[in-house]
Amino acid sequence: MDEAVICLEEQLEAKSKPKSVGDKLKKMVPDMKSLNLLGRSGDPGSASASGTSTPQISIEASEPTLNAGSSDFRIAGDESDSPDRDDLNDEEHVVEIRECPICHQPRLNKRSDTDIITHIATCASQDWRQVNNVLVSGFVTASQAQRKWYSKVITKISYGGYKLGANSANILVQDRITGQINEEKMSVYVRLGIRMLYKGLKSREMENKRIRKMLKNLSIKQGKKFDDPASREEIEKFIEFHRLNMDEVLLPLNEFNNFNEFFYRALKPGARPCSAPDNSKIIVSPADCRSVVFNEMSQATSVWVKGREFNMKRLLGDAYPEDVSRFDGGSLGIFRLAPQDYHRFHMPVDGIMGEPRTIEGEYYTVNPMAIRSALDVYGENVRVLVPIDSEQHGRVMVICVGAMMVGSTVITATAGQQVKRTDELGYFKFGGSTILLLFEPGKMLYDDDLVDNSSSALETLVRVGMSVGHSPDEPQWTPDMRKDEQEVTDAEKKEAKRRIQGSAAVEDSPEGSGEDEPRHSRKPSAAPTVNTLAASAM
């Protein structure tokens, strides 16, 4: 990272160095006077500490204006004067930032990615002490306060900053029980790759047949690889890397024939108890996952699901077209599984299970960066629809959405059978995956704490069997909600961080700061293959 910043500084310095200082000043000073950049009242120039007057030099109209004696910078020329700014504003960018965090230059989002990065890096290079304040008032997780100046600047200009609901590459998740907010860890290369693929390209480009074919072939190939007996060597590495709790796993390791069998491992009876077991009006989480929930579909499309063509008709497809009007205006729950999560999913309500029907589709990632792009991931990905007719909640539609690197979705329950909450419904093979829950209007309400987080586009970490909603005439189940701070144990905090961050790489760093921990101070740990790590992020 140091080398990258030094390289950027050198390029900026070389670019800003005039061929002839005298000629450059003669040419630029009249222009700067007309822009009121020089000759302020009582201040003909910027005086240095020694009393020498230092002129202000404007590099180009499209570059930041540098003031050697001040950290207050201006962009020469107004954005509104440039005819192509509207076109730039209509495009989706990798860099998402509205205001320079150092000089507070507004409307940076109207500029190109290169101009934004150049502006912020130039501001920072004038006084590196200012960078310590970039995230002081805006960090969300404790780890962000520990990072070095270059991490703060590069993070700010590359990912759009850390804030709740940010349309950026940072995935922030709150643990429901402890209330901790942690950043879901992902390789910077994978993170930028996903962002550039799904945010940098317009939807019509993503629909290119070659890209869709590539994602499908890659998913099938990876699925076959993890079904191969040779993949068993990945199991112990995966356990060590993610610090998985093996005490709750039903079978011993020597009984798994390949990596996929371990990935969709079963748990011991009682490992995921059902909340309010005698009250069928309480709706429970179908998976160990990160959740966002909305009592009305319109809220989901305004806050979280940004696909331009997302609608109920596309979502249900030709599997259950007769139910489109039934679920219009109803409630939506989105339950996203990460690689370190338990990958079997369960019944959210009591009732009678209907016929599972598969809709063939694409293999786009279900990562939040893609969900909040113009692409309709849920309406285009391969998925399995399973209806449950519930006495308390009417018809409930469970939609199992496959994703990049998912070999297949397997339904283990049988159509026509009476099911109970937390009964097993099926499992996902290796890769990212999501469960959607659809409810008819007026049949249920999601729990308040989940709704509040979701309205801020903040995912909440929940487990199988934990209450997520209830009938309108039934109070919400509060024992599953956040504990008082004094009741939260260190073990619970550590477990929440592990489940959200997903790796042991930052375990020993202060408050999970991770990125800036010296490499020599970290304990060595087993590392899964590159393919396993890349697929984990999808």
Q: Which residues are catalytic?
A: 288, 346, 433
Q: Which residue has the tokens 């950049």?
A: 37
Closest to 354 measured CA to CA, from 311, 315, 391, 386:
386
Q: Let me know how many helices (H) and strands (E) the chain has, helices first.
A: 18, 22
- Distance of alpha carbon 113 from alpha carbon 426, whole angstroms: 44
Q: Is-contact 518 509, C-beta < 8 A? A: no
- Distance of alpha carbon 2 from alpha carbon 128, whole angstroms: 13
- Distance of alpha carbon 247 from alpha carbon 351, whole angstroms: 31
* Residue 121 DSSP SS3: helix
Q: Is-contact 181 173, C-beta < 8 A? A: yes
Q: 113-126 and 2-16 helices cross at what angle (nearest 10)?
A: 90
CA angle, corner 159, sides to 106 and 382, nearest 5? 125
- Distance of alpha carbon 470 from alpha carbon 474, whole angstroms: 6
Those residues with Cβ within 8 angstroms of residue 153's Cβ, 6 or more apart along the chain or in another chain: 5, 120, 121, 124, 131, 134
Residue 385: what are its φ and ψ, rounded to 5°?
A: -105, 130
Closest to 293 measured CA to CA, from 436, 454, 171, 439:
454
Those residues with Cβ within 8 angstroms of residue 29's Cβ, 6 or more apart along the chain or in another chain: 38, 55
Alpha helices (H) in 35-105, listed in sequence order: 85-90
Please, is 100 exposed, middle or buried when counting C-beta atoms within 10 Å of its C-beta (0-12, 13-18, 19+)?
A: buried
Complete DSSP assignment for 389-409:
EETTTEEEEEEEE--TT---E
Give the distance, in angstroms, between the CA of residue 291 and the centroid of all CA atoms in the same chain.
12
Beta strands 289-294 and 459-462, pairing class? antiparallel
Q: Is-contact 437 397, C-beta < 8 A? A: yes
Where do the DSSP E strands lie in 49-171? 53-54, 57-58, 64-66, 74-75
